Amino acid sequence: MSTYHFHVTQIKRSKGQSAVACAAYRSGEKLFSEYYGEISDYTRKRGIIYTEILLPSHAPPEYSDRQTLWNSVEKAEQHPKAQLAYSFDIALQNEFSMEENIEVARQFLMDEFVSKGMICDFAVHLPDRKDGIQNPHFHVLCPMRPLDENGQWGAKQRREYVLDEHGERLRGKSGEYVFNAVPTTNWGSSETLEHWRKVWCDLCNAKFAEKGLDERIDHRSYERQGVELLPTVHEGPTVRAMEKRGIQTEKGTLNRWIKATNKMILAAEQKVSAMKNWVSENSQSSLIQSLNAYNSMRNKGAYSQTAKIKNLKESTDDINFLKANDIETFEDLQDKITELGVQVDGFKARSNEKSARLKEIDNLLTWAQHYAENKPVSDELFEIKWKSKREKFQAENENALRLYHMSERKLRPYFKDGKLPISAWRNEKAQLQKDFEDIQKQFSAVRDDVKRLWQIKYKIEQANNQHKENNKKKRRDTHEI
């Protein structure tokens, strides 16, 4: 099944991240970070089927060595909160062979990145999947700092001084010249990202067409496609395997809630949109008269008094609903539909905000668990003085130490007085989950109003259609006389 996923993040020291460690993970190699003094060993990582470093013509040849390249990047960035690299995570297509996928990905990187002076550390992953559905994708790491024509690391930004009407530099309150920091490249702009997303989409669609396949992908968000959905969280193979065995997980439960919510949102939005169009095209002024006409039409076909009573009760309920909402004319109905549309949008925005924060808290708690579980191992290593014994302990506890260092870097910005706000995170997570339930209950009332108006719309349409048929019949009868 064709899929579109094109995600870009930044590798930042402020988040405890290491460009060397990220490169090691993506390439499945063992690399040493001179900046952190740590070894990142991912040589046992499975599913990495292709790696390559793509260099522009003016890059030093030694940068084709991954450890040399990323230690050079780390060395060039002196600030403790420096932004180091762009990290791309892009889905490949199951409809293409792996050779075709690599060919398309490589063409994209050479044309859009390398030709513009960017270095690309390129790795293709095909992780093991127990559910049998392949998830081929590729990672790209690109240094954020550009290379100059001599192969030296250049500046990310340049100063653009603010000038007065005479072309002289302006001084600020401190006496220093006022300037704006202007990026030296367009790599970080939203326009460039949009261009890359579209080009990748076009390349994949061209390959689908070349292979005679009907599949197509769209780089636009659901919102821009006119389908506004809350994104589900990434479950991963472990969670999916547990769910498949009938073991409910927090992520699986959240995704079920999101999917159910998306279904409600789409249904409500589609009905609101259809009713807006219908009301704008309708010239009648009295909704209640139309509902009474529908009730009369139903009563003509009723076979019992019980059915007539049921029709009357239903009609009375509809009229009471309209009166309770101050709806007498189609203009009033238009206002109510607009109000419901705003409420749906507000519900969606609140849900999106809560969902994003819940995912963030989940990640922090997961890293906190890794930190707590593996810190004793790091503490024990610190107490070992003999080199040979220390090296043996490191080899035996490699994964635990790696997880500890990764979690410590991730959590570093959140430590306060040597402690993590675990209780606060858990309390916030519980509150977010309660907020989700409350939002869904609130939306249920909105959804019920939308459904009720949709039913009223149907009844009015039926009454109007019957009215038109009666008029046609009268004209035919008059013509025959």
CATH topology assigned to domain 6-149+191-219: BirA Bifunctional Protein; domain 2 (3.30.930)
Q: With the C-alpha atoms ordered 383, 398, 236, 66, is the resulting torsion angle positive or negative?
A: positive
Closest among 137, 335, 334 to 234, alpha carbons compared? 137
| Strongest mean pLDDT among 26-35, 152-161, 342-351 | 26-35
Q: Is the pLDDT of residue 281 over 60?
A: no
**Residue 19 CA to chain centroid, in angstroms?**
23
Q: How many CB atoms lie within 10 A of CB 104?
A: 19
pLDDT at 305 over 50: yes
| Phi-psi category of residue 417: left, alpha or beta, with phi > 0 → left and psi -120 to 50 → alpha | left
Cα torsion at 174, 177, 178, 179 (round to 10°)? -140
Q: What is the pLDDT of residues 90-133, one digit of tens each?
A: 888 888 889 999 999 999 999 999 999 999 999 998 876 544 45
Residue holding tokens 């409809």?
95
Within the chain, all domains assigned CATH 3.30.930.30 are found at 6-149+191-219
CATH 1.20.1270 placement within the chain:
250-480
At the second CATH level, the architecture of 250-480 is Up-down Bundle (1.20)
Q: Cα 156–116–52 angle (5° rounding)?
A: 100
Q: Give the Cα separation of 408 and 21 in Å (integer).
A: 13
Whether residue 73 contacts residue 85, with contact meaning beta carbons closer than 8 Å, is answered with yes
Please, how many CA atoms are within 13 Å of residue 384, restricted to the half-sphere of its CB? 15
Cα–Cα distances in angstroms (integers) from residue 36 to residues 33, 153, 400, 411, 465, in the given order? 6, 21, 18, 16, 76
Confidence of residue 222 (pLDDT cuts 50, 70, 90): low
Helix (H) or strand (E) holding 132: none
What mean pLDDT do residues 5-12 have?
Answer: 85
What is the DSSP annotation of 7-56?
EEEEEEGGGT--HHHHHHHHHT-EEEETTTTEEEE-TT---EEEEEEE--
Highest mean pLDDT among 63-67, 237-241, 396-400: 63-67
In a 3-state reduction of DSSP, which class is residue 318? Answer: helix
d(CA 277, CA 271): 10
Contacts of 63 (CB under 8 A, 6+ apart): 53, 55, 69, 72, 119
